[in-house]
Amino acid sequence: MASDRIDTVERDGLVLDVGDVGPLDGPVAVLLHGWPADSSCWSEVVPRLVEGGLRVLTLDQRTVAPGARPRGRRAYRMPALVADVVALLDRLGSDPVHLVGHDWGGAVAWSLADAHPDRLASLTVLSTPHPRAMAESLLRSPQLLRSAYVGLFQLPVVPEVLLGANGGAVLRSVLRRSGLGPDHAERYADRLADADARRASLGWYRGVPLSAGEVAGSIGVPTAYMWSTGDTALDRTAAERTAAHVTGPYRFEVLEGSHWLPEEHPAAVADLIVEQVALPAR
């Protein structure tokens, strides 16, 4: 495992920013944020993991890092997002890591666990169900309605205008109504005040139709999945169907609260990750 701190990772002409704290010789946890967050979503989780003896790396993914905002929908296909994380794992070395993802970071984590199971010691996903469970739920639950905003985000120009309107007031309101605390809502909306940041952030959603044939399969690595009862974006049906797509050791945790698990429940999230790290090696 790399014995020097990592602050950036470069791939395909892009530069992604990395936070790297904790003991250099500790088990490694790599944390992937979602939309419209950045790695600051883990600000209350990371110290708890470090106290547990982990080396923790947080990646500002493609769309967020100023040096990683390519143009065009194809640049945000799932294989490209996965390859960014693999580039970080390559910098770290050959030892398997404990991968954690929330929201879009969870989607990337599922796909990486499918494509590169040998790179992972464990997988922890927050909020985001397995993509096949998500697809199955669309016609079996209110999930299609909850995902309607994804269709809106496919439109050109309009979503950027809405997200930037009145200094980001619309986005702040939506985030706060969904349960995100005011400080985080303010920070995420302020980051998207930049027009290029707004355009890039929507790349994740606009790349979805181009990744339709690359959905993750069954997951064999030890997996923990945490979902919250007040999640306005992700329905319980998909959460419960996720178990059918994990063949390895599996743990499903349900919390009371909103979609924003790292910000709202940092202690529970950190405890779950530490417990995954403590599992016997495969």
Cα 114–chain centre separation = 15
Give the mean model confidence (pLDDT) for residues 97-118.
Answer: 97
Distances (CA, A) of 217 to 116, 174, 262: 12, 32, 26
Nearest to 58 by CA among 28, 15, 93: 28
Give pLDDT, residue 56: 98
Active-site position among 98, 102, 184, 259: 259
Separation between Cα atoms, residue 182 and residue 108, nearest integer Å: 27
Separation between Cα atoms, residue 102 and residue 120, nearest integer Å: 17
The residue ranges of every structural domain in the chain are 8-277
Give the mean model confidence (pLDDT) for residues 104-108.
Answer: 97
Query: What is the CATH code for 8-277?
Result: 3.40.50.1820
For this structure, is 188 an active site residue? no
Active-site position among 76, 188, 205, 225: 205
pLDDT 10s digits, 231-242: 999 999 999 999
pLDDT 10s digits, 117-159: 999 999 999 999 999 999 898 888 888 888 888 888 999 999 9
Active-site position among 17, 103, 114, 235: 103
Please name the residues in contact with 188: beta carbons below 8 A apart, sequence gap of 6 or more.
36, 37, 38, 171, 175, 180
Give pLDDT, residue 94: 80
Radius of gyration of the chain (CA): 17
Nearest to 121 by CA among 113, 133, 130, 111: 113
Q: What is the pTM of this model?
A: 0.96
For this structure, is 259 an active site residue? yes
pLDDT at 48 over 70: yes
For this structure, is 103 an active site residue? yes
Separation between Cα atoms, residue 37 and residue 266, nearest integer Å: 15
Separation between Cα atoms, residue 197 and residue 246, nearest integer Å: 35
Please name the residues in contact with 278: beta carbons below 8 A apart, sequence gap of 6 or more.
none
The first and second tokens of residue 118, run together, are 């040998």
Separation between Cα atoms, residue 221 and residue 114, nearest integer Å: 9
